[in-house]
Amino acid sequence: TPDVLTFGESLVSLRSAGPLATGGTLTTHVAGAEANVAIALARLGHRSAWVGRVSTDELGEFVLRQLRGEGVDTGGVVRDAERSTGLMFLERRTADLTRVQYRRAGSAGSALTVDDLRAPLAAGARVLHLTGITPALSPSAREATAWAAKSAGIPVCLDVNYRARLWSRDAARAVLAPLAAHASIVVASDDELDLVGDVDTLLRQGADAVLVKLGAAGARAHTRDGVHHAGALTVTAVDTVGAGDAFTAGYLSGRLDGLDVDGCLRRAVTLGAFAVSTSGDWEGLPRRDELSMLDNHETG
């Protein structure tokens, strides 16, 4: 059984080196917040499994090959012959600013159902990781996410991951706050916290840790024993996409290794630093023997 089971939508990400409107070469990548977490964990030597729907064509094959190539278990993936794999265009607009467009409405990934998750959940894992992106994709994906959070029977990690292009803050709040009540670990950036309620309520509802990402100021972990803080490592930011996923994977990795909260936070900000200082959602993430590469970078 995997250490971490996660599910959601994986997309084919087409990246341009400059503004999309001026054309040029696109490079092909796999994206998706949950896939990013699964890959980050596998790089560190943990067993991770990703479940979701992908098309039966070459794009679906590409997603699966990439995940498998990174050592992610894809045994539970459903091939959907009716629908196409969702696309994401990512343009580099300025040296350190990227912009995203989706072509994912009606995609295979958005057609996820409760039935897709039954067997993988029954097989078990140490942690179930889910994000607030999946319930924004369709009514059936929303139902699947709520069902999984409720019936997991294992600790649940929820990364809020609010995506303004998918739904409004009010719509997100109505779905994500009840979801967070089932989570042992809640991850949010400071501007997302109001979508899942306040820290005290989350801790009272049973969360062990509420992680608040503060960007260049690092991150805080609120626990029943108090507040812990870790500064961000000072690195040159080239691409922040995927940094939150790397952060979450770092924290989960620390938990799986039995580290204390400070150790988990330290690993989380380290993975975040790898993600922002390399290009791609996950391509630049470290293997376990590379974790100490940034140790001489100061925390800000």
Catalytic machinery residues: 245
Window contacting ligand KDG (CB under 6 A); options: 148-156, 182-190, 216-224, 240-248: 240-248
> Interacting stretch for ligand KDG, rule CB under 6 A, among 114-122, 172-180, 242-250, 265-273?
242-250
For residues 44 and 286, is the Cβ–Cβ distance under 8 A?
Answer: yes
What 3-state class would DSSP assign to 246? helix
Is-contact 251 264, C-beta < 8 A?
yes
281 binds ligand KDG (CB under 6 A): yes
63 binds ligand KDG (CB under 6 A): no
- As measured in angstroms, the least distance from the Cβ of 163 to ligand KDG is 5
Counts for the chain of helices (H) and strands (E), in that order: 8, 14
Cβ closer to ligand KDG: 88 or 112?
Answer: 88
Does the protein bind ligand KDG through residue 232 (CB under 6 A)?
Answer: no
Nearest to 40 by CA among 71, 14, 7: 71
Q: Are 187 and 247 in contact (CB under 8 A)?
A: yes
Whole-angstrom Cα distance, residue 243 to residue 270? Answer: 10
Inter-residue contact 49 to 62 (CB < 8 Å):
no
CB of 221 to ligand KDG, least distance (A): 20
Helix H or strand E encompassing 210: strand 209-213
Q: Is 91 in the site for ligand KDG (CB under 6 A)?
A: no
CA distance 7 to 149: 11
User: Which contacts qualify for 90-96: CB closer than 8 Å, 24 or more apart?
Assistant: 90/13, 90/14, 90/15, 90/16, 90/31, 90/241, 91/15, 91/16, 91/18, 91/19, 91/20, 92/15, 92/16, 92/17, 92/18, 92/19, 93/19, 95/238, 96/237, 96/238, 96/239, 96/240
Minimum distance between the CB of residue 3 and ligand KDG, rounded to whole angstroms? 21
Q: Which of residues 122-151 bind ligand KDG (CB under 6 A)?
A: 133
33 counts as binding ligand KDG under rule CB under 6 A: yes
Residue at shortest CB range from ligand KDG: 31
CA neighbor of 9 nearest in space, from 81, 91, 113, 95: 113
Considering the rule CB under 6 A, would residue 244 count as an interface residue with ligand KDG? Answer: yes
Which residue lies nearer to ligand KDG by CB, 165 or 224? 165
Nearer to ligand KDG, 3 or 159 (CB): 159
Q: How far is the CB of 67 from ligand KDG (least distance, A)?
A: 13
Q: How far is the CB of 165 from ligand KDG (least distance, A)?
A: 8
Minimum separation from the CB atom of position 12 to ligand KDG (A): 11
229 touches ligand KDG (CB under 6 A): no
Contact between 241 and ligand KDG by CB under 6 A: the answer reads yes
66 binds ligand KDG per the rule CB under 6 A: no
**Is residue 218 part of the contact set for ligand KDG (CB under 6 A)?**
no
End-to-end CA distance of the chain: 38
103 binds ligand KDG (CB under 6 A): no
41 and 87 in contact (C-beta within 8 Å)?
Answer: no
Binding ligand KDG (rule: CB under 6 A), the pick from 36, 84, 189, 253 is 36
Binding interface with ligand KDG (CB under 6 A): 11, 31-33, 36, 88, 133, 163, 241-242, 244-245, 281
